[in-house]
Amino acid sequence: MHPENKNETVILNPLRKVGLADKLLWATLLGLLLLGIGVWIRQYVLGLGITGLNRPVYWGVYLTNFVFFIGLAHSGTFISAILRLAGQGWRKPLTRAAEAITLFSLPFGVASILVDMGRPDRILNLIWFGRYESPILWDVTAVGLYLLSSIVFFYFSLIPDIALCRDRLTQAPGWQRRMYTILALGWRGTPQQYHRLERVLDGMAIFMTMLVVTVHTVVSWLFGMTLQPGWHTALIGPFFLLGAILSGTAAVVIVLAILRKVYRFQHVLPVSLFNSLRKLLITFLLGWLYFMIAEHLTIGYGNMKEEMVVLQDKFSGNYALIFWSMAVLVFGVPLLIFLIKGKDSIGWMVLACVLINIGMWMERYIVIVPTQISPRLLSVSGQGIYLPTMTEALITVACFAGFTLLYAVFTRYFPIVPVWETAESLPVGHEAEPALQTGSATAD
């Protein structure tokens, strides 16, 4: 038994044929990913000295990427877990697209840490000798758990649709059909099965919500737990979390717009979805401004010598250009776009969201680097400079290419819009939550 969804054909359409354009895109992305892996191997052989890292800037672009990708990952969990608990039915068509961002960006967050390590060959020391006094172990635990539960959460909600693919895509190549059969785990779509699935997903949503708060907070504590000026503030955790949800949600808008255009999902992903996301994004932007002011006003008003060195570097020193353009990119321009042009206009929304994500990457960078540039004792002798090299640039490109590759391939083999969750009706006996109808109504 399968749910009735009038958009089923449209949603399954991208799965029917992998075209030449896809293969070209995949080959390009794979090439960039492999190039990055090659550069990493070179870095491992020669030493981290081929990066721009130095003393005192021990952490640079790799850590920025780590924080950024983990932040991007917060999109999916926010949309599917938090909005699920809040009973926001409109989220349904975009849940999977958002969760896929989570799933595919997390590995590159983890990879960024591996790339940053001087001795990645000793990674297992974290297990043999790991000690919980170190924030790094908090991160390993939280991110590991997050990755694991994201996979489970994602997979569970995918099962009914895999079963649908198994039964509908009979023209697909043999291996593909076998894959669906195995992954569907014998799903039959009985009302009891749907009931059980919903209960599991609800339960997991609570757990995931707690995890999402924890993960990005402990990511920030890599910095916040040290005594360094600019980092050692209690606000750093919540600030990182909000930034993560902001950049993640903005990423959802970009991804949705691409899917809508490329796979002709105009009816499946209506403009109303973008309008709902717009309201969320405006809220997050204002929250971001609030944190920004709270943090910098506290430091500036306090006027403590060491803190002021970092603050002035950002406001009017070497990092002023990055700092202020970040503020314009993350906050200024996007807010104006959302308020004036964003409503009903996907193009403007995408522009704003691209700016937000560029700006959020810069924001991570501007948190990480300036604090290290002016260490307390070395401010006279070793005023640091940090310029990333080609190695760091290529590995960063590879991370983004790898993320896009996984995403692009996934959308050609699995329905990126959940068919069962957006269905008009599920098999009889299943008590659909009221929001279900709202969700599909907006699809008209």
Partner 1 sequence: MPRWGMVIDLDKCFACQSCTVACRMENNTPVAGPDQAGKGRAILWNEVLPFIEGEYPRLVATMIPRPCMHCDYPPCTKVCPVRATYKNEEGIVVVDYNRCIGCRMCTVACPYGVRYFNWFPPEWPEELKQHLNPDPEVAPRPKGVVEKCSFCIQRLHKARQKADAEGRAFMATDYIPACVQTCTGHARYFGDLDDPTSLVHQLAHSPRAFRLLEELGTEPKVYYLKQG
Residue of 378, 431, 437, 441 interacting with partner 1 (CB under 8 A): 378
What sign for the dihedral angle of Cα 299, 302, 303, 309? negative
Residue of 134, 192, 283, 316 interacting with partner 1 (CB under 8 A): 134
Residue of 20, 21, 129, 170 interacting with partner 1 (CB under 8 A): 129
Neighbours of 347 (CB within 10 A): 10
Stretch that binds partner 1, among 127-135, 160-168, 293-301, 404-412 (CB under 8 A): 127-135
Tokens describing residue 270: 């209506």
Q: How many whole angstroms separate alpha carbon 378 and alpha carbon 393?
A: 28
Sites for partner 1 among residues 149-208 (CB under 8 A): none
Contact 199, 208 (CB under 8 A): no
Nearer to partner 1, 310 or 349 (CB): 310
16 binds partner 1 per the rule CB under 8 A: no
140 binds partner 1 per the rule CB under 8 A: yes
Closest distance of CB 321 from partner 1, Å = 22
130 binds partner 1 per the rule CB under 8 A: yes
Burial class (CB in 10 A: 0-12, 13-18, 19+), 70: buried
Sites for partner 1 among residues 45-64 (CB under 8 A): 46-49, 53-59
Q: How many whole angstroms separate alpha carbon 2 and alpha carbon 10?
A: 16
Nearer to partner 1, 270 or 382 (CB): 382
Cα separations (Å) of 393 from 56, 246, 320? Answer: 20, 24, 22
Locate all alpha helices (DSSP H) within 263-331, ordered by sequence: 271-302, 305-315, 320-327
Backbone φ and ψ of 427, nearest 5°:
-50, 145
Size of the site for partner 1 (CB under 8 A): 46
Nearer to partner 1, 139 or 363 (CB): 139
Sites for partner 1 among residues 273-312 (CB under 8 A): none
Residue of 125, 298, 425, 437 interacting with partner 1 (CB under 8 A): 125
Closest distance of CB 112 from partner 1, Å = 12
Stretch that binds partner 1, among 96-104, 119-127, 236-244, 314-322 (CB under 8 A): 119-127
Closest distance of CB 148 from partner 1, Å = 19
Sites for partner 1 among residues 219-238 (CB under 8 A): 222, 225-228
Residue of 20, 131, 171, 444 interacting with partner 1 (CB under 8 A): 131
Closest distance of CB 394 from partner 1, Å = 18
Nearer to partner 1, 234 or 380 (CB): 380
390 binds partner 1 per the rule CB under 8 A: no
b vs e for 385-417, b when ≥16 Cβ sit within 10 Å of the residue's Cβ?
ebebeebbebbbebbbbbbbbbbbbebbbbbbb
Closest distance of CB 45 from partner 1, Å = 10
Closest by CA position to 358, among listed 239, 238, 246, 242:
246
Q: Strand pairing partners for 425?
A: 4
Stretch that binds partner 1, among 293-301, 368-376, 411-419, 421-429 (CB under 8 A): 368-376
Q: How close are the terminal C-alpha atoms of the chain, in Å?
A: 24
Q: How many whole angstroms separate alpha carbon 216 and alpha carbon 245?
A: 10
| Amino acid at residue number 310 | V
Tokens describing residue 235: 């606000």
Contact 159, 187 (CB under 8 A): yes
Residue of 14, 93, 160, 375 interacting with partner 1 (CB under 8 A): 375
The three-class DSSP label of residue 4 is: strand
325 binds partner 1 per the rule CB under 8 A: no
Nearer to partner 1, 121 or 444 (CB): 121
Binding site for partner 1 (CB under 8 A): 46-49, 53-59, 113, 116-120, 122-123, 125-126, 128-131, 133-137, 140, 222, 225-228, 372, 375-378, 380-382, 384-385
